[in-house]
Amino acid sequence: MSQTSRPAAALPSEPTAAQKVYRGIMEELEHHRLVTGQRLVETELAMRFAVGRNAVREAMQLLAARGVIDLQPNRSSVIRELDEQETYEILEVAEVLTILAVRAAARNFAHAPQAARLTEAMARLADPVLRDHPGQFSAARRAFYRALLDVAGNRELNRLFPAISMHIIYSQYQSPRLRDLRLADYAAMYQAIAERDEPRAEGAARDHVDKVREAVRNLMAERAGAGSR
């Protein structure tokens, strides 16, 4: 009887040119070097990332699918800018999915192999150095949610959660106050999850989205007031 050989493990592949542009734009958005409403000129992007224009076009399609940009016929793409209704709709969806995630994570925390990674991600988020580095804070926040979703163990939730356009909200409504309240809320969610308290985890998630909603509402009012002077 012959022995079937196993295929060799694939080596990690280098990012494609389109992925390079996609990741670069996401990073610049997180570091606030790009802002909502800003146009992305194809020729400038090709020069900045040293890629061909086809790669830029492919990256634009990826970003549009993620809800980061709006594609406009015969015009440069633009970083998506949310109106008030869209903002609240996104937060409504975020609330439901976050509650599902934290409840599942609390239920699984005792036996999930990724639990230690969630603890490490929370410790990284709590590093005070991150307060003045929006890009690093965003990266730590992503790591926290990735670990949270892995502990939750729901594959459909893992697929849907990254599609929520919270990255656009946090780009459009930049504020140290908003970053501080998010950190306190993540700590509350983590504590409830670690103690395997599903109802408290749900309450912490609900409170978190309510606070973000209120902070955004206040920022809208402040900007409207400044604009009328």
Check if the beta carbon of residue 30 is closer than 8 Å to that of residue 139: yes
The dihedral formed by the CA atoms of 212, 156, 198 and 209, expressed in degrees to the nearest 10: 10
The structure's pTM equals: 0.82
Smallest CA-to-CA distance from 26 within 55, 53, 66, 57 is with: 66
pLDDT value of residue 75: 85
DSSP string, 15-70: PPHHHHHHHHHHHHHHTTSS-TT-EE-HHHHHHHHT--HHHHHHHHHHHHHHTSEE
* Domains identified in the chain and CATH numbers: 17-79 (1.10.10.10), 84-227 (1.20.120.530)
Give Cα separations from 7 to 1, 4, 11, 13, 14 (angstroms): 19, 9, 12, 17, 20
pLDDT in tens, the chain (229 residues): 434 444 444 444 678 999 999 999 998 888 888 889 999 999 999 999 999 999 999 999 999 988 899 998 888 899 999 999 999 999 999 999 999 999 999 999 999 999 999 999 999 999 988 877 888 888 899 999 999 999 999 999 999 998 898 889 988 888 878 888 888 999 999 999 999 999 999 999 999 999 999 999 999 998 887 766 6
